[in-house]
Amino acid sequence: MIVWLNGTHGVGKTTTSALVQRLIPDSRVLDAEKVGETLMDISPKLPWTGNFQHWPPWRPLVVETARRVLDYTGGTLVMPMTVLVEQYWREISAGLAEHAVPIRHFVLHADQETLRGRIEGDPVMGPSAFRLAYLEPYAEAARTWLHREAEVVDTTHLTPEQAARRVAEAVNG
């Protein structure tokens, strides 16, 4: 099984995924961003599109990597990754379904003011124009498709531990 943690930058996907992994037996974290980073390391560079998710190989490589890891290890993969383009989510989820890999899709959500404060006050990454630029695309995806496609966990007033517990309880039943 895959537990996909979606949501915009700054909502706490990476922190929460590590905590969820500790609460779900026989689970591992696989960050799909690493697949994008691998594509970004190709030399000479691929034509830049503004985001590695726009490169056609990224989505099937995420599917292939996840399914191969699950074939090898079994258990559950916890995958923190922002996917705000509905077509891309459909490609990934359909690709996993073709291999009979079940997905629990969660969106970690927080209101815009909270997200802005978290990004601007991030003690590790510091303020980030890149991350702030995704607030409106996230809001649009949430309004149009994303919140219908996933189980929403509103983290506005939750600690990462509380958010992780909610996800793990939903998965563990």
Task: Locate the domains of the chain by residue range.
Answer: 2-172
Cβ of 52: how many Cβ atoms within 10 Å?
Answer: 18
What is the pLDDT, as a whole number, of residue 38? 97
d(CA 64, CA 77): 13
pLDDT of residue 110: 96
The model's pTM: 0.96
Q: In the prediction, which pLDDT does 107 show?
A: 98
What pLDDT does residue 12 have?
92
In degrees, rounded to 5, the angle at the alpha carbon of residue 122 between the alpha carbons of residues 135 and 137 is 10
The CA-based angle 161-166-168, given to 5 degrees, is 90
What is the average pLDDT value for the chain, to the nearest integer?
96
State residue 126's pLDDT score: 84
Residue with tokens 């601007």: 120
Specify the amino acid at residue 28: R
| Angstrom distance (rounded) from CA 77 to CA 94 | 17
Class of domain 2-172: alpha beta
pLDDT at 124: 83
> Could you tell me where the DSSP H helices lie in the chain?
13-23, 33-40, 58-73, 86-98, 112-120, 129-132, 135-141, 147-149, 160-172
pLDDT confidence of residue 127: 87
Residue 26 CB neighbour total at 10 angstroms: 8
Q: What is the pLDDT of residue 41?
A: 97
Query: Which residues of the chain are under the pLDDT cut of 50?
Result: none
Residues 88-108: tens digit of each pLDDT: 999 999 999 999 999 999 999
